[in-house]
Amino acid sequence: MQENKETSTSELFYPSDEIIQNANIKEYDSLYQYSIENREKFWEEQAESLEWYKKWDQVLDSSNKPFYKWFVGAETNIIHNAIDRHLKTWRKNKLAIIWEGEPGDVKTYSYHGLNREVCKFANVLKSMGVKKGDIVTIYMPQIPELVIAMLAVVKIGAAHSVVYGGFSSESLASRIQDAKSKVLITADGGWRRGKITDLKKIANEAMSRSATIQSCITVRRTSQEVYMESGRDYWYHDLANHPVASNKCETEVMSSEDMLFILYTSGTTGKPKGLVHTHGGYSLYTSVTHKYIFDIKDDDRWWCAADPGWITGHSYLVYGPLINGTTIMMYEGAPNYPYPNRWWQIIEKYGVTVLYTSPTAIRGLMRFGEQWPERHDLSSLRLLGSVGEPINPEAWKWYHKVIGKEKCPIMDTWWQTETGGAMLSPLPITPLKPGSATKPFFGNELAVVDEAGNEVKPNEEGKLVIKAPWPGMARTILGDDQRYVDTYWNDYKAQGWYKAGDSAKVDQDGYFWVIGRIDDVIKVSGYRLGTAEIESALVSHPAISEAAAIGLPHELKGNAIHTYVILRNGFVGSEKLESELKEHVASEMGKFALPEKINFVEQLPKTRSGKIMRRVLKARALGQDEGDTSTLEE
Ligand code: WT7
């Protein structure tokens, strides 16, 4: 866990007068106070920034807690606000997407052009039988067609489930099955570090295990040879060249609470959770947070360097920025390919004004030294952002000084797949403390509490909770309402609070410091992994009878995966077996889950009821006090 040791002693960084004068929001305290005292009114006023086919009868329906409903009775489609309404204005000819492939190829789309491509893709999906309410799985590299496919699915009233292109066939198959997708959209591969990825091959393996799949649409990106099964697999360009794929397509009218997408994330059990987000509230929450936190103006060139396959990409690469009519930068490949200046080159070349990335990426680029960014003119930047894990003050300061030239405030945004958008974040006018996500966004009340729900004292560690509903919140877990209640709402049931699963502190100035996960989730390079998923990948190997996984601090990754395994009879621990097991986990889950270390052990610390005490393993590995071990079986 990345510990923030410097909490209250930390120095303050003040934004310049110029930034304050130009900011979309010039004062925080009074608007914040207003927003929590008049929560529904506040969101209702903000909702005027969007167009609705039909307005709501009720802003918030709390009659069936925790299944909140926002903008009940309203009709909309996120596509109407993300694309259609811009076509009626000068933004029709504004750039929507500037995309650069890893090999250096470039594609650009105006809002007009994006609409044309989305309509065409939408008609292709219709011709494949996709209907309102279906869930279409998307497994693609970072190419514009990924965004176009997402928007096309939503335009015709279906919902997408984007599975990050780094996931294994196993993970893809389990997600397809859970969503019961009939259609999969993929590509023949993508570029990563000068090599072509095997996306279609992995997709084929996954489809062979997915009974619901009827057809697969493949976008040509790399032109490598891929296996296409007749009757199931279609090239996108063949379908798109067919006369049914016209450039015109009506946007389906949806009700505010209709499903927009599901996105799987890791939790305490091995089964991934498909979090459900809906049209109305999510449209509002992503666009408002994007506009105010990142101070978005019409002449911005916005670059969220996350993959669209994660929530950051959904909310702040695709939906929030498009709703705000922003020009989006998108890049396919690795940050250090072919050289460690690739990102800085992109910022200079396209005049990027706001960069939003993760602490892991910053630490990774920092490692190559200042000479790489210093070769480039980064003066177009006016604001920076960070997300995904706590940012250590050293990385914060490097980002601030070397990339931001001490003139770009850093928006350290804390949020989750479940929250839909940023919950804790500075605004450009907020005095900053390196490593703190500062304060709640408008409308939100957060607190750090003990088990009983009492607020802990300043600078004391406790559990992070959210005290009131917000429009961007996930509505449930697909097909498992009970798990949604149990996971997030049961710990503070009496109070009706949402448990984030993170530990945090609030300092004497009311600044929040998120320390890290306190459940069985590990954040590795910003990726969210469940210990149960890693453990079940390990025990699926013939040599392993039992396994435990924990996260230990790692300089670049934030946390790295350390595992403890008990071998089956007849197997002996060796370096060779260790690397075989590491590879096995990577192939079961995806390369990002590669364990740092496999420890061969005789025993695992367990409670008398047989639960592995990962906390004890962690304390031992760090040479710390093991805490209360009274339940430990000997
Ligand atoms: C977990 C959620 C939200 C987009 C990406 C992650 C950690 C996220 C921060 C931050 C400290 C952070 C938390 C959270 N996290 N942002 N600014 N400071 N920790 O979404 O994969 O659902 O992970 O990421 O532990 O619970 P996610």
What are the respective helix, strand and coil percentages of the chain, to the nearest 5?
30, 25, 45
Ligand 1: which residue has its CA nearest to atom 1?
416
Atom of ligand 1 nearest to the CA of 315: 4
**Residue 273 Cβ contacting ligand 1 at under 6 Å:** no
Strand partners, 424: 414, 440
Residue to substitute in 7, 523, 557 for testing ligand 1 pocket (most ligand atoms within 8 angstroms of CB)? 523
pLDDT band at 3 (very low <50, low <70, confident <90, very high): very low
Strand partners, 546: 566
Share of the chain above pLDDT 70, in %: 98
The answer on pLDDT for 519 being more than 90 is no
Distance of CA 364 from the midpoint of ligand 1 (Å): 18
**Residue range 145-172: mean pLDDT, rounded:** 97
**Residue 388 Cβ contacting ligand 1 at under 6 Å:** yes
pLDDT (0 to 100) of residue 326: 98
Ligand 1: which residue has its CA nearest to atom 10?
414
* Per-residue tokens: 417: 């797949």
pLDDT band at 1 (very low <50, low <70, confident <90, very high): very low
**Residue 500 Cβ contacting ligand 1 at under 6 Å:** yes
**Residue 514 Cβ contacting ligand 1 at under 6 Å:** yes
**Residue 281 Cβ contacting ligand 1 at under 6 Å:** no
**Residue 2 Cβ contacting ligand 1 at under 6 Å:** no
Distance between CA atoms of residues 151 and 20, nearest Å: 35
pLDDT (0 to 100) of residue 633: 77
* Per-residue tokens: 623: 């040479």
Distance of CA 466 from the midpoint of ligand 1 (Å): 14
**Residue 387 Cβ contacting ligand 1 at under 6 Å:** yes
**Residue 265 Cβ contacting ligand 1 at under 6 Å:** yes
pLDDT digits (tens, 9 = 90+) for 368-379: 999 999 999 999
Distance between CA atoms of residues 264 and 276, nearest Å: 9
Distance between CA atoms of residues 426 and 422, nearest Å: 10
* 49 close to 465: Cβ distance less than 8 angstroms: no
The answer on pLDDT for 9 being more than 80 is no
**Residue range 10-26: mean pLDDT, rounded:** 92
Atom of ligand 1 nearest to the CA of 412: 17
Contacts of residue 86, defined as CB under 8 A and 6 or more positions apart, other chains included, come to 92, 94, 111, 325
Atom of ligand 1 nearest to the CA of 517: 25
Residue to substitute in 439, 514, 518 for testing ligand 1 pocket (most ligand atoms within 8 angstroms of CB)? 514
Distance of CA 178 from the midpoint of ligand 1 (Å): 24
Strand partners, 162: 138
pLDDT band at 630 (very low <50, low <70, confident <90, very high): confident
Question: Per mean pLDDT, which range of 8-22, 44-58, 75-89, 472-486 is the poorest?
Answer: 8-22
Distance of CA 267 from the midpoint of ligand 1 (Å): 13
**Residue range 257-276: mean pLDDT, rounded:** 91
Task: Convert 112-139 to b/e letters by CB count within 10 Å (16 or more is b).
Answer: ebbbbbbbbbbbbbbebebeeebbbbbb
CA 13 to chain centre: 27
Pairing of strands 75-76, 95-100: unpaired
* 240 close to 259: Cβ distance less than 8 angstroms: no
pLDDT digits (tens, 9 = 90+) for 302-337: 999 999 999 999 999 999 999 999 999 999 999 999
CA 49 to chain centre: 25
pLDDT band at 272 (very low <50, low <70, confident <90, very high): confident
**Residue 517 Cβ contacting ligand 1 at under 6 Å:** yes
pLDDT band at 10 (very low <50, low <70, confident <90, very high): low
pLDDT (0 to 100) of residue 2: 42
Ligand 1: which residue has its CA nearest to atom 8?
388
* Per-residue tokens: 189: 């591969």
Average pLDDT, the chain: 96
The answer on pLDDT for 8 being more than 90 is no
**Residue range 476-480: mean pLDDT, rounded:** 97
Count of alpha carbons within 13 angstroms of residue 9, beta-carbon side:
4
Return left, alpha or beta for 45; rule: phi > 0 is left, psi -120 to 50 is alpha, else beta. alpha
